[in-house]
Structure 1
Amino acid sequence: MSVSDNMKGAALMAGSMAGYTFNDACMKALAGDIPLSQAVFLRGVLTCLMLYGLGLALRSLTFRLSRREWKLMLLRSFAEMGATYCFLSALFNMPIANVTAVLQALPLTIALAAWAFLGEPLGWRRLSAILLGFVGVVLIVKPGGDGFTLWSVYALLAVGFITLRDLVVRKMSPSTPSMTVALVASVAITVSFGVASLGVDWAPVTPRSGGFLVLSAVFIFMGYLFSVMVMRVGDIGFVAPFRYTGLIWALIIGLIFFGEWPDGWTLVGAGIVVATGLFTLLRERQLMRRTRARRIA
């Protein structure tokens, strides 16, 4: 694998994280102006249209799937809906960097859940790193402290839902197109939040709020598009650590646009989570290389 391909992959991964984080910032900017359910529904309509257009352009949409795949896809969509609600609820009420820092624990929770529920191997080194990473999460959310609120719980629940989502993906057939999975999840989120919005008073969409909604849909689409492209370029073991650039984006956006900056303990906790996550990814890469070498031998 050439260095240029790796650098392209790293740039795409960083771009994907930027897209998702800027989407988060746009949604956070709508807090207090538009009810959560209304905002997610309107953004979802735009996102679904763009995903459908991309799927047609790539000819990667198919809905002729087995009953098993549809069940898994619906379970994944349920997890996606729960993650969206919990994450945005936390985002509307917490500093963006704090919420993003909690989500950096995902490589740790997914590795632990895959070991516990799918029987995937997990050595003592990675297990120790995961436990240390959870200490970092505790420093971020500070249970029992003044900074610990209901929204901290929502951020943790979002991690749980995303972990469930990714475990379900591991059970799905590799032949199921990722575009179909993404579109079905987006439609499910849009419909569910559209129904939920019927129970609230809709706020008028002003030029400001409309602009943020359009930008949010564009950024989340960009994040997804780049995340698909990155799987086709570069060594994933080299590229994967660049997902942590999302935390850097969140720190910059939080400071410049929202006047937020995490306290010292949050930064220490985030550093621990990122360090242990990087160790877990690198260790997994080493084990995959050894497994391939044994197969070739």
Structure 2
Amino acid sequence: MPSPDAPNPDAPHPGKPGPIRSLPHRARRILTALPANTRGALWILQAAFFFMIMSTLIKLLGSDLSVFQILLVRQCIMALIVAPKILRGLPGSLVTRHPALQAARVACATIAMLCGFTAVIHLPLADATALGFSKTFFVTIFAIFFLGETVGAHRWGATILGFLGVLLMLKPGGAFLVDPYALLAIIGAAAAGMVMIIIRILTRTDSPTTILTYQAVGVGLIMIGPALYTWVPPTLEEWGLLLAVGFASWAGQMSNIRAFRAGEATAIASLDYSRLIYATAFGFLIFGQWPSVTTLIGAGVIILAALYTVRREAIRGRQLARAAEGRGYNT
């Protein structure tokens, strides 16, 4: 047995790095030492990256597999990842005071993901991503009818300006016929906006674990029938991509949650739009797709109007358009 005074070979000393297992701890210490908004900014940039990885993989898989099959496997993988948390909460995680609202949230989340993923598969990544940003303006409209909020001239102006940006993207080159997949992107954004409204109501009475459980299980159950009907046996490579979709979705959501826990939403929400930069880069490098000038102008209008809406919410003390739960296709 070594003497108590014997040197520890694993202990760091001048000129020698410590053991590899200490590196994560050091990284956490460095991250913790950063200002809160800087930490939030780093997390949200990571979330945006993971969400665009997810979208890119879905676009790759969509050429051979149905969106129902992709979504079913995604939900199963995410459910397995969060299963320990769900199981620890049983039976309380199934108790809800608003079963009808839980069902509506699951239905809206299903529509948001089906429409959003279909748009990602068939549209250039940058177009589908930018059209998805219109969710912010649907939140403004839905908040009036379902939450009784009073919206002033500033937010109405931002909403109208944002929809003008959407219309600009829907008719690239002045065409009179609207791309049906672009319309699906808008429908998906509207459904995602409705999800955010429902979550705002549910969080008054139900725990986050309950909301997570119903969403994870509910969407998966809805997908079983159509997924089996359209099922195509995935290749080994496709199974790998499907697993990566599930992991990227979970990692994006967790990064998003950490971002809005660490930093002020008003300071970091604008970085969520870095997804458009990622989408443009991935679309060009992987699919050879470059957004048109009209698309970029429309996206710029949408983002500016959305940022102004977030600012107005900060002034009014609200957190709908800048909440973490419904950003991107992470409903």
Structures share a fold, TM > 0.5? Answer: yes
* Aligned mates of 1:151, 1:259 — CA distance in 2: 19
Shift of 1:183: 3.2
Greater alpha carbon shift after TM alignment, 231-240 vs 249-258: 231-240
What are the residue-to-residue correspondences of 1:43-192 with 2, within 5 Å? 43-55=74-86, 62-68=92-98, 70-142=99-171, 145=175, 148-174=178-204, 176-192=206-222
CA RMSD of aligned residues (A): 2.3
* Aligned mates of 2:125, 2:253 — CA distance in 1: 20
Question: 1:46-81: CA deviations, max 9, x gaps?
Answer: 111012235568x7994253332x221221011001
Selected match of 1:278 from 303, 307, 310: 307
* Residue-pair matches, total: 285
Correspondence 1:38 to 2:57: no
Question: 1:193-233: CA deviations, max 9, x gaps?
Answer: 12112322x22221221111011001000011112222321
Residue 293 of structure 1 corresponds to none
* Aligned mates of 1:226, 1:46 — CA distance in 2: 17
How many percent identity over aligned positions? Answer: 25
Mark the runs of 5 or more structure 1 residues left unpaired by the alignment. Answer: 290-297
**Contact 1:55–1:61 under 8 Å retained in 2:** no
Paired residue secondary structure (2:141): helix
Mark the runs of 5 or more structure 2 residues left unpaired by the alignment. Answer: 1-32, 319-331
Correspondence 1:198 to 2:228: yes
* Aligned mates of 1:165, 1:115 — CA distance in 2: 15
Correspondence 1:268 to 2:307: no
Greater alpha carbon shift after TM alignment, 112-121 vs 275-284: 112-121
Distance 1:54 1:17, change over 3 A: farther
Residue 244 of structure 1 corresponds to 273
Distance 1:217 1:126, change over 3 A: same
**Contact 1:77–1:184 under 8 Å retained in 2:** yes
**Contact 1:13–1:230 under 8 Å retained in 2:** yes
Residue 211 of structure 1 corresponds to 240
* Aligned mates of 2:287, 2:153 — CA distance in 1: 41
**Contact 2:128–2:185 under 8 Å retained in 1:** yes
**Contact 1:83–1:162 under 8 Å retained in 2:** yes
**Contact 1:60–1:177 under 8 Å retained in 2:** no
**Contact 2:41–2:271 under 8 Å retained in 1:** yes
Letter in 1 for 2:69: Q
* Aligned mates of 1:262, 1:236 — CA distance in 2: 29
Question: 1:149-194: CA deviations, max 9, x gaps?
Answer: 2111111110121111111112113453323323321222222112
Distance 1:134 1:30, change over 3 A: same
Q: Which has the higher helix share?
A: 1
Shift of 1:147: 7.2
Correspondence 1:19 to 2:36: no
Paired residue secondary structure (1:198): helix
* Aligned mates of 1:138, 1:222 — CA distance in 2: 32
Question: 1:228-276: CA deviations, max 9, x gaps?
Answer: 2223212122122222112221111111111111111111000000001
**Contact 1:41–1:193 under 8 Å retained in 2:** yes
* Aligned mates of 1:244, 1:188 — CA distance in 2: 29
* Aligned mates of 1:92, 1:107 — CA distance in 2: 22
Letter in 2 for 1:125: H
**Contact 1:110–1:163 under 8 Å retained in 2:** yes
Superposition TM-score, scaled by structure 2 size: 0.80
Letter in 1 for 2:153: W
Which has more radius of gyration? 2
